[in-house]
Chain A
């Protein structure tokens, strides 16, 4: 289904006859432009898409990444996926592609490249980042009904998503995750808990951390482990 690029809301049939021709003209002009844009977007899609599945698969994504001159573990690809509201990790459907690129106002590779810094700024806004952070977790859930992610993937994900903003916390927490035995997987609540931890708790002193509050148990244990290390 084609989406109209026009900012006007689609009016019902009763339109003033005086303006109807103008809007018709406008609409047809903008729809011509938008259809051109859509064509370019689609073309770009098919450059990377797998012929048989009609989706961009991991191989295509890698190609895209190298063309964008971005590593495929770079957070910006994840941000792109977020913008696209992509559902399956490593794959982009046509609809998702269209959604993302439309939003970025990019229909060529160079425009996409240029849009990335802006995208990053947008995602890093506090109002968006929490949503992005949660999205990152969900994106890694590959099986249906899967609710948790294994430790190793979590460690990588933490590094990608929070590595630049909370380097110290991520490094220590990743170290802890690797040596502890209580948990083999991390669920969404624990994932979000860590983000809250980074934002609210001063590090590395953690003096304002209170284990009697509703912090996830894994963070209580992490703080205990940190304190022992520091002693």
Chain B
């Protein structure tokens, strides 16, 4: 059957009935829903009108009428309804109208669907869905969006002040902004979000201004943390998720960034005070808040560093003051206490770094820098390197001042090695440590071999093999020496003629490993001379190519003193023994006579005679019996001397080795600087002065911090020795001379 052509007006009238029905449904009027026949009729009408032969193909007209339908509806019913409402009521109406509109679009686009299939594609026109939404946007949204925005923001601020608001409503409203963008977020961002962010900023700015005046730092931080939490919740409840980072940033900016300095530096509750009062929770909060702000942690780390430095400096000052106030004999104690306290300080603040500050590198760095500042201060004339070495000595030697369990010792040694990292003059520490180690090893004063080895292992791990190679050599030497001694005793057993008649123990040391000792040409008593000869004979049977240099200053001698009351065994140094043995041939000797017989320096002789005549045990009597030895004194063997012990040790006060150690280290440093300069120049060939200096400093930094002037001096020396020359064109550049 031939289809009857539908006239436009006719067809449209029919469509209007459908549209009218839809409107009634949307307005909430009692109206039955569309049934499938009605739907189909409407669809087919459109279909027919579009597929009719020209001039009755009404696609274009229908397309336009489709849009007009919306426009008419919006203008006549929707807009008036919205215009008469305000604030929250307006929002509700808008949500309702939008929802309705979407329904209308859905239904109408179904009726007019045929247009979507061919017409719009052919003419490259927007699809029905878009047309429908665009109507709403152009007519409703564009007119109302700023009012809507203001209403929404007002509600948000209300909620901020603690009032309850209809979150679902807000979510629905904001969804409109998103959906009206039709795939883009620009409507949401430009028409709503940017204003909301600005409002947020001013809101929190106001709050911050009043809080910063009234609240303590911890309270302010608590409030800030709470605000951030609430804003995040706000996003999850009704804002679009993309707003979260921007919102958080604004809140952080107003609350934490703008007033950062005032907050952190609040006098009685700011960062410094929190550190002082060990307010761990507040500090953790501070870290959490400032962690996400770019460069936000820097001021906190700075205050932390200043605080630790101040505490460290106070400890050092305390020790310095105590040392100057006390008598010389107890001076050493203060320094030991200082090291202990520094270790405790380190432990305490390391906990802060790992827990409050979540192991953040900024804080590790701050701690390190703080310790580097005060750990390099001198206390009562001793450098920190020396103090640390003495501290180790006390732990490792027998009868040291620290009485600790094995585990505690291990733990302390571990901590000491960590402290070493902060000391710039590591080579100075090595030298002091070596000297004291030598004494412990040679005089059998080491308390525990395992601990000795353990600390060397730890030092090796931290500072490299070169640092500990000599010390390890020293420990090995002792083991070899014992073996050697056994061989010597065997030799003596096999060669009774060679026996010197005295029990002799010799420890042979490898020169490179041990600290350098001065050896004097003291005139030994004949008994000792024989010993030396005998051992030399033995040693030559073992190796032909080594030279033995005797260090008598390190020797110990057991001498029987036949006093009137009883014989007492005297444990003395070799030098003291040499002095005493002189009295076997004469009862009285003047200072000058002893001097000429022994051939020692005045300084040494005075020390020796003092220890034998003016100290606790007066083995010799001195005329006149003043407290100090002078060159005119006369000495006599004190036959009247006695003591309740059968064996006494007569100590020689140790020479102050500090000066020598510092001298030795300075010398080594000169060589090290020379070597570094030559090494750098050899590889670079030509280098500017400043670069050379900075590379030099870097290369040497593992062992010590070289003085710039010292580097310059070494460079001059190398120029004179023709290793380097100044460039002819540029006096600030140097060339390597092969």
Listed in ascending order, the chain A residues whose CB lies under 8 Å from chain B are 147-148, 187, 189-190, 193, 196, 212-214, 216-217, 220
Contact = CB atoms under 8 A, between A and B. Distances in A.
Given A147-B720, A214-B731, A189 B712 contact: no
Contact of A190 (B708, B709, B716): B716
A189 B716 CA distance: 8
B690 A220 contact: no
Nearest to A212: B690
A213 B719 contact: no
Given A147-B720, A189-B720, A212-B690, A217 B731 contact: no
A55 to B, nearest CB: 31
Contacts of A148: 720
B720 A213 contact: no
Given A214-B731, A217-B713, A187 B719 contact: yes
B358 interface: no
28 contacts: A147-B720, A148-B720, A187-B716, A187-B719, A187-B720, A189-B716, A189-B720, A189-B726, A190-B716, A196-B731, A212-B690, A212-B693, A212-B708, A213-B690, A213-B732, A214-B689, A214-B726, A214-B732, A214-B733, A214-B734, A216-B712, A216-B716, A217-B709, A217-B712, A217-B713, A217-B716, A220-B709, A220-B712
A147 B721 CA distance: 9
Contacts of A216: 712, 716
Interface in B699-738: 708-709, 712-713, 716, 719-720, 726, 731-734
Contacts of B716: 187, 189-190, 216-217
A220 B710 CA distance: 12
Most chain B CB within a 10 A radius of its CB, from A148, A190, A196, A216: A216
Nearest to B713: A217
A37 B257 CA distance: 92
Q: Size class of B's contact patch?
A: 10 to 19
A74 to B, nearest CB: 30
A105 to B, nearest CB: 32
B233 to A, nearest CB: 57
Contacts of A189: 716, 719-720, 726
Contacts of B713: 217
A221 to B, nearest CB: 8
B519 to A, nearest CB: 31
Contacts of A147: 720
Given A148-B720, A187-B720, A196-B731, A213 B709 contact: no
Contacts of A212: 690, 693, 708
B460 to A, nearest CB: 36
**9 closest A-B pairs (Cβ-Cβ)?**
A214-B689, A217-B712, A214-B732, A189-B719, A187-B720, A213-B732, A217-B713, A147-B720, A217-B709
A156 B264 CA distance: 64
Interface of B: 689-690, 693, 708-709, 712-713, 716, 719-720, 726, 731-734
Contacts of B708: 212
A196 B732 CA distance: 12
A193 B731 CA distance: 9
Nearest to A187: B720
Given A189-B719, A190-B716, A217-B709, 20 more contacts: A147-B720, A148-B720, A187-B716, A187-B720, A189-B720, A189-B726, A193-B731, A212-B690, A212-B693, A212-B708, A213-B689, A213-B690, A213-B732, A214-B689, A214-B726, A214-B733, A214-B734, A216-B716, A220-B709, A220-B712
A196 B729 CA distance: 12
Nearest to A200: B731
Nearest to A189: B719
A189 B287 CA distance: 56
A190 B713 CA distance: 11
B686 to A, nearest CB: 13
A60 to B, nearest CB: 34
A126 to B, nearest CB: 16
Nearest to B714: A217
Contacts of A187: 716, 719-720
Nearest to B692: A214
A65 to B, nearest CB: 34
Interface centre among B693, B708, B709, B716 (most CB of A within 10 A): B716
A86 to B, nearest CB: 24
B734 to A, nearest CB: 7
Contacts of B734: 214
Q: Which of A147, A187, A212, A217 has the most CB of B within 10 A?
A: A217
Contacts of B709: 217, 220
A196 B726 CA distance: 13
B37 to A, nearest CB: 97
Contacts of B689: 213-214
A131 to B, nearest CB: 12
Contacts of B731: 193, 196, 214
Contacts of A214: 689, 726, 731-734
A193 B733 CA distance: 13
Contacts of B719: 187, 189
A148 B709 CA distance: 21
Contacts of B693: 212
B714 to A, nearest CB: 10
B254 to A, nearest CB: 45
Contacts of B712: 216-217, 220
Nearest to B717: A187
B691 to A, nearest CB: 11
A147 B708 CA distance: 25
B706 to A, nearest CB: 14
A187 B716 CA distance: 9
Contacts of B733: 214
A145 to B, nearest CB: 11
A213 B731 CA distance: 9
Contacts of A220: 709, 712
Nearest to B719: A189
B725 to A, nearest CB: 8
A196 B708 CA distance: 21
Nearest to B710: A217
Nearest to A211: B708
Nearest to A214: B689
